Amino acid sequence: MAASPRRAPLVAVGTRRSRHGHRQGDLDLRKMGQVLHSGPGNKNAFKGLIAAEYSGVKVELAKNFEMGVSNKTPDFLKMNPLGKDDNPLFGSSRIEQAHVEQWMDFAATEVDPGIGWYLYPRLGYIPYAQTTEETAIASLKRALGCLNTHLASNTFLVGHSVTLADIVLTCNLYHGFARILTKSFTSDFPHVERYFWTMVNQPNFKKVMGDVKQAESVPPVQKKAAPTKEPKAKDVKKEAPKEAPKPKVVEAPAEEEAPKPKPKNPLDLLPPSPMILDDWKRLYSNTKTNFREVAIKGFWDMYDPEGYSLWFCDYKYNDENTVSFVTMNKVGGFLQRMDLCRKYAFGKMLVIGSEPPFKLKGLWLFRGQEVPKFVMDEVYDMELYEWTKVDISDEAQKERVSAMIEDQEPFEGEALLDAKCFK
Q: Do 339 and 200 belong together in one domain?
A: no
pLDDT at position 366: 98
Q: Is residue 61 part of a domain?
A: yes
Return d(Cα 123, Cα 134) in angstroms, integer.
Answer: 16
Q: Is 324 domain-assigned?
A: yes
Other beta carbons within 10 angstroms of residue 359's beta carbon come to 18
- Supply φ then ψ for residue 275, to 5 degrees: -85, 120
Could you tell me if residue 328 is inside a domain?
yes
**18 and 136 assigned to the same domain:** yes
Residues 61, 65, 68: CA angle, nearest 5 degrees: 135
201 and 286 together in one domain: no
Check which CATH number belongs to the domain holding 110 and give it: 1.20.1050.10
Rama region for 122: left / alpha / beta (φ>0; ψ in -120 to 50; rest): alpha
Task: Report yes or no on 40 lying in a domain.
Answer: yes
Give the bridge partners for 352, in sequence order.
Answer: 359, 416
Q: Which of 354, 372, 340, 344 is nearest to 411 (CA)?
A: 354
Q: Which amino acid is residue 132, in one-letter code?
A: T
pLDDT of residue 329: 83
Residue 249 resides in a domain = no
Burial code of 199-235, b = ≥16 C-beta within 10 A, e = fewer? Answer: bbebebbeebbeebebbeeeeeeeeeeeeeeeeeeee
Q: Does one domain contain both 209 and 303?
A: no
Helix (H) or strand (E) holding 6: none
CATH code of the domain in which 335 resides: 3.30.70.1010
Q: Looking at the domain assignment, is residue 373 inside a domain?
A: yes
CA-nearest of 351, 339, 346, 345 to 315 is 351
pLDDT in the model for residue 251: 54
Structural element, H or E, at residue 56? none
With a CB cutoff of 8 Å and minimum separation 6, the contacts of 123 are 219, 222
Could you tell me if 103 and 187 lie in one domain?
yes
Q: Residue 3 has what pLDDT?
A: 43
If one counts the domains in the chain, the total is: 2
SS3 content of the chain, % helix, strand, coil (to 5): 45, 10, 40
Cα–Cα distance measured from residue 139 to residue 109, given in angstroms and rounded to the nearest whole number: 11
Q: Which domain holds residue 138?
A: 1-221
Residues 302 and 214 in one domain: no
pLDDT of residue 240: 53
At 290 the pLDDT is 94
- How many secondary structure helices (H) and strands (E) does the chain include? 16, 9
Same domain membership, residue 188 and residue 319 = no
pLDDT at 325: 82
DSSP 227: P
The whole-angstrom distance between residue 31's C-alpha and the CA centroid of its chain comes to: 41
Kindly report whether the global pTM for this prediction surpasses the value 0.75: no
Q: Give me the DSSP letters along 102-130.
A: HHHHHIIIIIHHHHHHHHHHHHTSS---H
20 alpha-carbon distance from chain centroid: 39
Residues 6+ apart with CB under 8 A from 366: 308, 309, 311, 341, 344, 345, 372, 375
Please name which of 356, 361, 336, 342 lies closest in space to residue 411, comparing C-alpha atoms: 361
In a domain, 298, yes or no: yes
- Residue 1 near residue 108, CB atoms below 8 Å: no
Instruction: Find out whether 110 and 116 touch, Cβ atoms under 8 Å.
Output: no
**pLDDT score for 395:** 96
Gap between the terminal Cα atoms of the chain: 23
**Same domain as 99, residue 8:** yes
The tens place of each residue's pLDDT in the chain, 423 residues long, gives 334 443 333 333 333 333 333 333 333 444 455 777 676 667 667 777 777 787 777 877 777 766 666 666 666 666 544 334 556 788 878 888 889 888 999 998 999 999 999 999 999 888 899 888 999 999 999 999 999 999 999 999 998 889 989 999 999 999 999 999 999 999 999 999 999 999 999 998 998 889 999 999 999 988 654 444 444 444 444 555 555 556 555 555 555 555 666 678 999 999 999 999 999 999 999 999 999 999 999 999 999 999 999 999 999 999 989 888 888 888 988 998 899 899 999 999 999 999 999 999 999 999 999 999 999 988 888 999 999 999 999 999 999 999 999 999 999 999 999 999 999
Out of 161, 187, 221, a domain closes at 221
If we measure between CA atoms, which residue out of 390, 320, 396 comes closest to residue 359? 320
**b/e map 276-315, b = 16+ CB within 10 Å:** ebeebbebbeeeeeebeeebbebbeebbeeebbbbbbbeb
* CA distances (Å), origin 341, targets 7, 317, 407: 34, 24, 22
